[in-house]
Structure 1
Amino acid sequence: MGTAADRSGRVVVDVWMPSYPATPSFLAEVREIARAFEREHPDYRIELVECPYLSLPEKVNRAAQRGHRPAIVQYYFTSTQVARDMRTDTGEPLFTPVQRAIGGRTEILGHPVVIDDLLPAARAYYSIGDELLAIPPFVSTTLLYTNTSLLSECGVPEVPRTWAELTEACRKLAGRTGAVDPGVSWPNGGWIFQQAVAQQGAVLVAPDNGRTDRAKQVQLDSPAMLAFVHWWRQLYLDGFYYYSGVRAVDAGAGEAWVRNYQAFAEQRVAFVLSTSVEAERMVQAGRQGGFEVTASPMPYNDEVPYAGNVLGGDALWLGNGLDEATRDGALAFMQYLLTPEHAATRHKTTRFSPVTRSSIELLEREGWFDANPHQRVALDQLDASDDSFAAAGALLGDFAGLHDVLTQAMDDVLICGADPDQRFAEASLKAQQQLDEYNADCLGERSAPAGPRRFAVN
Structure 2
Amino acid sequence: MRTHRWFRRDMVMVAAVLMAVSLMAQACGTPDAGTQDVSAQDVTEQTDGAAIPVRMWIAFTDYRLDWAREKAAEFNQLYPDYEVIIDGYPDYETLFDSALLASEQGNPPAIMHFFEAATQEIRDAVNPAGDPLVTSVAGAIAGRRDINGVPVILEDIVSAPRNYYTVDGEFQSMPWNTSSTVLFSNADMLEAAGIEAPPATWADVEAACAQILALPDAPSNCITWPNHSWIVEQAMAQQNELLANEDNGRSGRADQVFLNSPGMTSFMTWWKALNDQNYYVYTGSQRDWDGTRNAFIAKQVAFLLTSSSDTTDITDSGQAAGFDVVASFMPYNQDVGRSGNVIGGATLWLVDGLEQATEDGALMFMNWFNNPENAAEWHKITGYIPITNGAIALLEQEGWYEQNPNSKVASDQLAESQTTPATLGVLAGNFVAIRDVVTSTAEQLLVTPGRSVDEALETANQQANRLLDDYNALQAE
* Alignment counterpart, residue 432 of structure 1, candidates 465, 469, 472: 465
3-state DSSP class of the match of 2:312?
A: helix
**Residues 18 and 50 in structure 1, CA contact (< 8 A), matched pair in contact too:** yes
- The answer on 1:268 being equivalent to 2:306 is no
Moved more, 262-271 or 368-377: 262-271
Counterpart of 2:202?
163
Q: TM-score, normalised by structure 1?
A: 0.90
Distance (whole Å) between structure 1 residues aligned to residue 398 and residue 175 of structure 2: 23
Contact 1:69/1:94 (CA < 8 Å) preserved in 2? Answer: no
Show the counterpart of 1:106. Answer: 145
Asked whether the equivalents of residues 353 and 379 of structure 1 are also in contact (C-alpha less than 8 Å), the reply is yes
Q: Which amino acid aligns with 1:442?
A: Q
Change (3 A) 1:19 1:286: closer
**Equivalent residue, structure 2, for 1:36:** 74
What is the deviation of 1:180? 6.3
Q: How far apart are the structure 1 equivalents of 2:246 and 2:196?
A: 42
Q: Is the 8 A contact 1:409 1:424 kept in 2?
A: yes
Aligned to 2:58: 17
| Mapping 1:221-232, distance limit 5 Å | 221-232=260-271
Distance 1:302 1:61 in 2: 45
Does the 8 A contact of 2:311 with 2:382 survive in 1?
no
Distance 1:292 1:28, change over 3 A: closer
Aligned to 1:407: 439
Q: Alignment partner for residue 399 of structure 2, among 367, 371, 379? A: 367
SS of the residue corresponding to residue 112 of structure 2 reads strand
- Give the conservation status (yes or no) of the 8 Å contact 1:97–1:133: yes
Q: How does 1:250-289 map to 2 (within 5 A)?
A: 256-289=288-321
Aligned positions of 1:138-153 closer than 5 A: 138-153=177-192
* 1:351-377 deviation line (CA, Å, top 9, x unaligned): 322100001111111111111111010
SS at match of 1:75: strand
Residue identity in the other structure for 2:360: D
Give the 3 Å change call, closer, same or farther, for CA 50–373 of structure 1 in structure 2: same
For residue 53 of structure 2, what is the amino acid of its counterpart? V
Measure how far apart 1:58 and its partner are: 1.5
**Secondary structure, in 3 states, of the residue corresponding to 2:304?**
strand
Aligned residue in 2 for 1:79: 118
Deviation at 1:31, TM superposition (A): 1.8
Deviation at 1:178, TM superposition (A): 5.3
Q: Deviations over 1:104-125 (max 9, x none)?
A: 1111110111010001001011
Indicate conservation of the 8 Å contact 2:110/2:362, yes or no. yes
Identity rate of aligned residues, in percent? 38
- Tell me, yes or no, if the aligned pair for 1:144 and 1:273 is still in contact at 8 Å: yes
- Report the more deviating stretch, 184-193 or 145-154: 145-154
1:215 to 245, 254, 260: 254
Is the Cα contact below 8 Å between 1:160 and 1:166 reproduced in 2?
Answer: yes
Any unmatched runs of 5+ in structure 2?
A: 1-42
In the aligned structure 2, how far is the partner of 1:319 from the partner of 1:284?
A: 38
- Counterpart CA distance in 2 for 1:56 and 1:357 is 30
How many residues are matched?
Answer: 432
Q: Secondary structure at the match of 1:303?
A: coil
1-structure distance, mates of 2:447, 2:214: 25
CA contact (8 A) 1:279 1:375 kept: yes
> Is the Cα contact below 8 Å between 1:6 and 1:12 reproduced in 2?
no
**Does the CA-based 8 Å contact 1:208-1:389 persist in structure 2?**
yes
8 Å CA contact retained: 1:143, 1:274: yes
**Match of 2:380?**
348
Root mean square deviation of aligned Cα: 1.9
